Structure 1
């Protein structure tokens, strides 16, 4: 990918994509594809920053909440887990929990 161009053009495009949901759609598509390929490992960990993440075992984000800097992760656990939303490719509702393990 060629990123040549003025910084102002790149900055404007970044802001536009952030505001119009392009980055969110890109993340959802990547999540859906990874899940369809069986690559989402549902061993969840929660990050300890102002942005509270639920990630799969490989560190890929599944859901997040944003709070003030002095908010403890343990107070956000329920909200972060409720924010997990992995769309599926094709018809069907998004997954919000792992599939049951067989055997």
Structure 2
């Protein structure tokens, strides 16, 4: 089994620290021995990197990662696979067009 590192860059000015903490708890519940690092970053960012591979970018999708799919990517990485796909995203619910 491989060691897996998950890095999350989030925009604290946008209030994404709470979303990072929610994601951290979710991942730790499923993968308690995983190494997760979070850091404040670019405006509007919520970028997730697994073992050096970008698997989710809020800057590109305008959405958050789908947590179960992200945990599947982590499981695959624990089995030695290099992440080759982008994580599914949560539905965007905070946007309205009038």
Shorter-chain TM band:
under 0.3
Q: Tell which has more relative contact order, 1 or 2 (C-alpha 8 A, sep 6+).
A: 2
Scaled by the length of structure 1, the TM-score of the pair is 0.25
Greater strand content? 2
Greater helix content? 1
Scaled by the length of structure 2, the TM-score of the pair is 0.26
